[in-house]
């Protein structure tokens, strides 16, 4: 019998592919929908569908490795007296202690600090390990308010009001009982071991008019020192960004549908929200129309993996990016050395997404002490810092080739699209043409 | 008696008020005149100061309070004492939505009525409402006690965790997973203590107790809410 059915002339259905068949069979057997981690796995238009136009006759490049190409960024100088000053526009996205081990959170803080950038708490509050190892820490203000307290608010370097995330806009959160240890439960004021819901709506404000008052409250509590971010999952991005800016945000974070999660329904991850590529130009246009582009900084996340993605985000008008899944991979997530253990869990290196189960062999998305102890926070921090450095240098390489002395000088004019869809979403011309679908040009 | 520092919001800004209160020494007393329903009054206090607000306050009055005693001689807007950690907040009038939202500790007393979602996601605070509370009160309440001396609106205690609810009047309806529970001697004693702390003389024997049935603590195919 041949191992490859296709070689025998058998034909797999494009509509009912193997993953779809397995999902139907699983649903039929269990009667429960699938919950998993990671982000959208389906193919959507993404930054790979864009290319840079390096300098040639009509543009003047900068010398690689030698001529200066700066990467620093200031976030939150619209209203805050202490804006963040970062050495690189690559930041670490919000991920909770609870979803991640304390070691993983510490490693992310170490990596971000070494690279001169910020990291972010998550749903569940701020841990001493994270604060202690994060030079610049953004404190998330979420609907659940788990662990929220004014002391940590004052200890934070910035505050991020979270309305949603790209993996599940409108969905709140969940953390399954196997990860609700005594420590996690105590931080969230919940009974240990229960399947925990994180609210999908903020408990004390509704809509942009209320948000404006809420932002002012947070500023008053922290004496107007801290930058206030507003994070939205990418859906009606143009309107969300306008409203967030009008509500007084210093920084707006837009998280596309490829953004990761620790535990969400598969149907939610794959079918709600829009791609990062589609959201980013909407956000920029919204800010430009308000006269606030660059005054309100824009951070983009959701499938940002490398320096090319960073450079493309910057060229489309972002001020910075946030990485989540890429940072976990840098820590060791899905590393081939754990393949045998992934297979025992019914997965494999490169496929593992069962962050919700808490049995992560890499010790990252777990609260099991033995598994978590596998992750060395110092080594993990070094790896994360290395990734951020590489991403930054890759983006510099591209920026210099486009003749830009600062990453933020990259512009849409430096880009073309490979597909009609990506040209329409990114609002840059289809390669080899001057056609931008949907603009009348 | 220590002198009372007065701040008149006809001339001072909310920023000046909060800045002064953040720098205030423990044991000092403050009086806020002509608040005019302004938002974010006396937020983020972190010392055992005494603050009297002489009139109506807007959103988030006494938000995130720690240690301080704040008394409002008037009504308050949305989210009074939201996320309070400790101290006491007393509203002589009525409160809008989300009173005491997510508060971790301290005592919130509302002499009048409280609107919808009173005690939403409460995490350890004690709330005593002299009048009625609106719908979805104590929604997803995690810890602490909510005492309602009047009536409760629809969906009381929806998706409740471990917060305890006492109601003297009529409950229009209970929310998902909220059930009436037996009133034992320990509950009567707890309720008596809370009523006393709030300065009320209601008879604990006239109250009913509500709590979580804990049927939503684990996702199952039966979670059909």
**What CATH number corresponds to the domain at position B162?**
2.160.20.60
- B66·A176 Cβ contact <8 A: no
Q: How far apart are CA A166 and CA A255, in angstroms?
A: 5
- Ranges of each domain in chain A: 36-426
B175 and A CB contact within 8 Å: no
Give B-chain residues touching A217 at CB under 8 angstroms. Answer: 39-40, 43, 59-60, 63
- Nearest residue to A62 (alpha-carbon basis) of A413, A411, A407, A432: A407
B123 and A CB contact within 8 Å: yes
Would you say residue A416 has pLDDT above 60? yes
Q: Which of A145, A194, A224 sits opposite B217 (nearest CB)?
A: A194
Interior angle at CA B174, CA B172 and CA B178, nearest 5: 155
Which pLDDT does position B222 carry in this prediction?
57
Residue A376 main-chain phi, psi, to 5 deg: -85, 115
Interior angle at CA A321, CA A85 and CA A257, nearest 5: 150
Rounded average pLDDT per 10-residue block, chain B, 225 residues: 91 98 98 98 98 98 98 98 98 98 98 98 98 98 98 97 98 97 97 98 98 89 54
More confident residue, A7 or B102: B102
Instruction: Determine the straight-line distance between the first and last CA of chain A, rounded to whole angstroms.
Output: 56
In a domain? residue B140:
yes
Residues 6+ apart with CB under 8 A from A274: A234, A235, A237, A256, A257
Give A-chain residues touching B143 at CB under 8 angstroms. Answer: 189
CATH code of A36-426, in short, is 3.20.20.70
Residues 6+ apart with CB under 8 A from B179: B210, B211, B212, B213
Which pLDDT does position B1 carry in this prediction?
62
More confident residue, A152 or A176: A152
Region A387-414 average pLDDT: 97
In a domain? residue B134:
yes
- State the best of B40, B103, B119 to mutate against chain A, taking most chain A CBs within 10 Å: B40
Tokens of A295: 């005054």
Q: How far apart are CA B141 and CA B191, in angstroms?
A: 17
- A190·B221 Cβ contact <8 A: no
Give B-chain residues touching A189 at CB under 8 angstroms. Answer: 104, 123-124, 142-143
Would you say residue A65 has pLDDT above 80? no
Confidence at A198, pLDDT banded by 50, 70, 90: confident
Would you say residue A2 has pLDDT above 60? yes
3-state secondary structure of A30: helix
Would you say residue A84 has pLDDT above 80? yes
In a domain? residue B154:
yes
Total domains, chain B? 1
Neighbours of B184 (CB within 10 A): 10
| Domain assignment of residue B172, given as a range | 4-212
Tokens of B188: 């009567």
In a domain? residue B220:
no
Spatial contact of A69 and A405, defined as CB atoms under 8 Å apart: yes
Tokens of A13: 């259905």
In a domain? residue B219:
no
Report pLDDT digits (tens) over A211-258: 999 999 999 999 999 999 999 999 999 999 999 999 999 999 999 999
Burial of A137 (0-12, 13-18, 19+ CB in 10 A): buried
Give B-chain residues touching A222 at CB under 8 angstroms. Answer: 44
Q: What is this model's ipTM?
A: 0.96
More confident residue, B116 or A180: B116
In a domain? residue B82:
yes
Would you say residue A441 has pLDDT above 70? no
Which pLDDT does position A332 carry in this prediction?
97
Residues 6+ apart with CB under 8 A from B42: B17, B18, B21, B32, B51, B53, B61, B62, B65, B68, B70
Which pLDDT does position A196 carry in this prediction?
84
In a domain? residue B224:
no
Sign of the CA dihedral running A387, A304, A228, A407: positive
Kindly provide the b/e burial profile for residues A330-352, where b requires at least 16 CB atoms within 10 angstroms of the residue's own CB. Answer: bbbbbbeebbebbeeeebebeeb
Region A253-280 average pLDDT: 96
Would you say residue A195 has pLDDT above 90? no
Region A354-373 average pLDDT: 95
Helix axes A377-401, A102-115, angle to 10 degrees: 40
Q: Classify strands A261-265 and A415-417 as parallel, antiparallel or unpaired.
A: unpaired
Which pLDDT does position B218 carry in this prediction?
85
Interior angle at CA A237, CA A235 and CA A243, nearest 5: 125
More confident residue, A2 or A50: A50
Q: How far apart are CA B110 and CA B71, in angstroms?
A: 10
- A213·B39 Cβ contact <8 A: yes
Which pLDDT does position B155 carry in this prediction?
98
Report pLDDT digits (tens) over A372-384: 999 999 999 999 9
Spatial contact of A104 and A337, defined as CB atoms under 8 Å apart: no
- Cα distance from B130 to chain A (closest Cα, Å)? 21
Give B-chain residues touching A224 at CB under 8 angstroms. Answer: 15
Region A127-131 average pLDDT: 91
3-state secondary structure of A130: helix
DSSP, residue by residue, B36-96: TT-SSTT-S--S--EEEEES-B-TTTTTT--S-EEEESS-B-TTTTTT--SSEEEESS-B-
Neighbours of A25 (CB within 10 A): 10
Q: How far apart are CA A86 and CA A102, in angstroms?
A: 24
Q: How far apart are CA B162 and CA A335, in angstroms?
A: 41
């Amino acid at each position: 019998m041949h191992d490859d059915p296709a070689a025998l002339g058998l034909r797999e259905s494009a509509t009912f592919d193997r993953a779809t068949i397995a999902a139907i069979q699983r649903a039929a057997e269990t009667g429960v929908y699938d919950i998993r981690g990671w982000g959208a796995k389906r193919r959507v238009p993404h930054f790979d569908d864009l290319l840079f136009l390096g300098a040639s006759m009509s543009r003047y490049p900068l010398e690689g490795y030698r001529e200066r190409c700066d990467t620093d960024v200031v976030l939150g100088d619209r209203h805050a007296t202490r804006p963040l000053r970062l050495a690189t526009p690559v930041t670490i996205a919000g991920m909770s202690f609870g979803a991640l081990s304390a070691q993983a959170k510490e490693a992310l803080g170490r990596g971000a600090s070494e690279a001169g950038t910020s990291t972010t708490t998550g749903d569940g509050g701020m841990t001493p390990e994270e604060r202690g190892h994060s030079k610049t820490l953004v404190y998330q203000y979420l609907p659940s308010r788990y662990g929220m307290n004014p002391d940590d608010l004052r200890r934070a370097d910035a505050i991020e009001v979270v309305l949603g995330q790209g993996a599940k806009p409108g969905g709140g959160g969940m953390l399954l009982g196997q990860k609700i240890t005594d420590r996690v439960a105590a931080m969230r004021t919940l009974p240990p071991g229960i399947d925990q819901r994180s609210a999908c709506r903020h408990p004390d404000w509704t809509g942009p008019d209320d948000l404006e008052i809420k932002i002012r409250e947070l500023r008053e509590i922290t004496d107007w020192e801290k930058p206030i971010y507003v994070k939205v999952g990418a859906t009606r991005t143009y309107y969300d960004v306008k409203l967030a800016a009008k509500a007084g945000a210093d920084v707006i974070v837009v998280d596309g549908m490829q953004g990761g999660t620790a535990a969400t329904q598969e149907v939610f991850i794959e079918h709600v929200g829009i791609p990062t590529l589609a959201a980013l130009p909407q956000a920029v246009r919204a800010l430009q129309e308000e006269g606030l582009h660059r005054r309100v900084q824009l951070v983009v996340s959701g499938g940002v993996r490398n320096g090319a993605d960073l450079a493309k985000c910057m060229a489309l008008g972002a001020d910075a990016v946030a990485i989540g899944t890429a940072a976990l991979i840098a820590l060791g997530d899905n590393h081939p050395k754990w393949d045998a253990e992934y297979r025992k869990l019914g997965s494999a290196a490169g496929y593992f997404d069962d962050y919700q189960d808490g049995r992560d062999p890499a010790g990252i998305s777990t609260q099991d002490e033995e598994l978590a102890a596998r992750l060395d926070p110092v080594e993990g921090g070094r790896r994360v810092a290395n990734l951020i450095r590489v991403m930054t240098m890759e983006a510099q390489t591209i920026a210099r080739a486009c003749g830009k002395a600062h990453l933020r000088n990259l512009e849409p004019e430096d880009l073309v699209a490979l597909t009609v869809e990506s040209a329409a979403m990114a609002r840059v011309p289809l390669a080899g043409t001057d056609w931008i679908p949907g603009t009348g040009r | 008696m220590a002198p009372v520092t007065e701040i008149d919001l006809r001339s001072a800004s909310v920023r000046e008020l909060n800045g002064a209160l953040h720098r205030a020494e423990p044991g000092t007393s403050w009086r806020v005149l002509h608040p005019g329903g302004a938002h974010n009054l006396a937020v983020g206090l972190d010392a055992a100061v005494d603050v009297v607000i002489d009139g109506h306050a807007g959103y988030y009055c006494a938000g995130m309070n720690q240690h301080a005693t704040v008394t409002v001689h008037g009504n308050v807007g949305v989210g009074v004492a939201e996320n309070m950690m400790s101290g006491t907040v007393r509203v002589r009038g009525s409160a809008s939505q989300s009173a005491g939202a997510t508060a971790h500790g301290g005592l919130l007393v509302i002499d009048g009525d409280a609107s919808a979602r009173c005690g939403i996601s409460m995490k350890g605070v004690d709330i005593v409402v002299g009048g009625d509370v609106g719908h979805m009160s104590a929604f997803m309440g995690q810890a602490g006690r909510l005492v309602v001396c009047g009536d409760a609106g629809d969906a009381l205690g929806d998706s409740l965790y471990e917060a305890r609810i006492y109601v003297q009047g009529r409950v229009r309806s209970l929310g998902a997973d909220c059930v009436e529970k037996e009133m034992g001697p320990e509950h009567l004693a707890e309720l008596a203590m809370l009523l006393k702390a709030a300065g009320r003389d209601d008879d604990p024997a006239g109250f009913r107790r509500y709590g979580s049935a804990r049927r939503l603590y684990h996702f199952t195919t039966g979670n059909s809410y």
